[in-house]
């Protein structure tokens, strides 16, 4: 008689299968944050590169015209400037390889108050990657500012002007007496919780082209808007520097250097974002905004 041995096919038990699934879930849980960190690092690098391009464009503009671009092109009397009008981000377009777009816009920067003035249909909805932070998921068209193309970058008006009377007073790089390496030219503003910006001067608010230092929030939004809400052009925080980067914002300094500034940088706790010029006092953020107050930024700079 021949004995036939039965062979049982080996397989996973239910417990083994559950253990494998649990291990895979743990590995995925460890992998996702790492992937997110890599994506944010890449986005921050691209944002930093945008700033470097703007820095080179501003220095080229300074070398060509012996002064930096105007924050907002106004006339010498401070009256009659167009609003909407042309901003620093419009003026440096030829130095960002956007000469064709600049010629299409044909901005009147010699006699501001004349025509053509910005309209959403003559090129100002053109998406420009150099003016968008890849960490910002806000819409390409900024409905807070007359449906112009969104930008995430705003200037320091105390350096580029116009002054409090809307009279042009753009400095040169050499004219920043506190030192160009100690003075902010451009910073970030998000379009997720805040109003973002555009690359012209919208008539809705001057925050369309400029940023200012606030109080207790430093360079972050304080208080944070309610869940699902955003600040608008009637909020004081509309002028704040803010970003979707973790822990702070990127800034372009006068010497062309790009610096990441932590949310915890010292700032005047009594300051209001709407104040112009910004409050004086020995606080790093305000010191970095003022081009001629004689105070260098502090140890947290």
Each residue's pLDDT tens digit, 130-156: 999 999 999 999 999 999 999 999 999
Overall number of domains in the chain: 1
State the residue range of the domain holding 134.
14-289
pLDDT band at 204 (very low <50, low <70, confident <90, very high): very high
Confirm whether 139 is domain-assigned.
yes
Confirm whether 296 is domain-assigned.
no
- Tell me, what's the pLDDT at 10? 60
Confirm whether 68 is domain-assigned.
yes
From CA 88, how far away is CA 154, in angstroms rounded? 9
Confirm whether 67 is domain-assigned.
yes
Confirm whether 6 is domain-assigned.
no
The secondary element (H helix, E strand) that includes residue 38 is helix 14-65
Instruction: Decide: helix, strand or coil at residue 251.
Output: strand
Reported in sequence order, the residue ranges of 105-167 that DSSP labels E, i.e. its strands, are 141-142, 148-151, 153-156
pLDDT digits (tens, 9 = 90+) for 153-171: 999 999 999 999 999 999 9
pLDDT digits (tens, 9 = 90+) for 76-135: 887 767 778 899 999 999 999 999 999 988 888 887 765 556 665 678 898 899 999 999
Query: What's the pTM value of the predicted model, to 2 decimals?
Result: 0.86
Across the range 281-296, mean pLDDT stands at 92
């Amino acid at each position: 008689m021949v004995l036939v041995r039965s062979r049982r096919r080996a397989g996973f038990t239910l417990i083994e299968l559950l253990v494998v699934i649990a291990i895979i879930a743990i590995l995925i849980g460890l992998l996702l944050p790492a992937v997110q960190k890599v994506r944010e690092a890449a986005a921050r690098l691209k944002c930093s590169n945008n700033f470097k391009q703007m820095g080179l464009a501003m220095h080229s503009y300074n070398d060509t015209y012996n002064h930096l671009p105007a924050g907002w092109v106004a006339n010498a009397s401070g009256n009659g400037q167009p609003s909407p009008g042309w901003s620093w981000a419009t003026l440096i377009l030829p130095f960002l390889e956007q000469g064709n777009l600049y010629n299409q816009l044909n901005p009147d920067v010699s006699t501001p108050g004349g025509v053509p003035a910005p309209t959403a249909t003559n090129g100002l909805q053109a998406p420009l990657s150099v003016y968008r932070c890849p960490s910002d998921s806000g819409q390409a068209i900024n409905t807070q500012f007359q449906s112009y193309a969104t930008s995430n970058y705003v200037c320091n008006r105390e350096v580029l002007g116009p002054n409090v009377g809307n009279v042009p007073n753009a400095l040169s790089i050499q004219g920043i007496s506190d030192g160009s390496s100690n003075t902010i030219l451009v910073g970030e503003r998000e379009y997720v919780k805040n109003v973002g910006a555009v690359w012209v001067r919208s008539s809705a608010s001057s925050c369309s082209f400029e940023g200012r230092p606030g109080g207790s929030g430093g360079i972050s939004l304080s208080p944070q808007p309610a869940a699902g809400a955003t600040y608008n052009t009637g909020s004081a925080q509309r002028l704040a520097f803010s970003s979707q980067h973790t822990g702070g914002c990127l800034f372009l300094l006068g010497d062309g250097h790009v610096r990441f500034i932590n949310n915890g940088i010292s700032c005047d706790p009594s300051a209001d974002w709407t104040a112009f010029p910004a409050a004086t006092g020995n606080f790093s953020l305000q010191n970095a905004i003022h081009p001629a107050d004689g105070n260098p930024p502090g140890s947290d700079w």
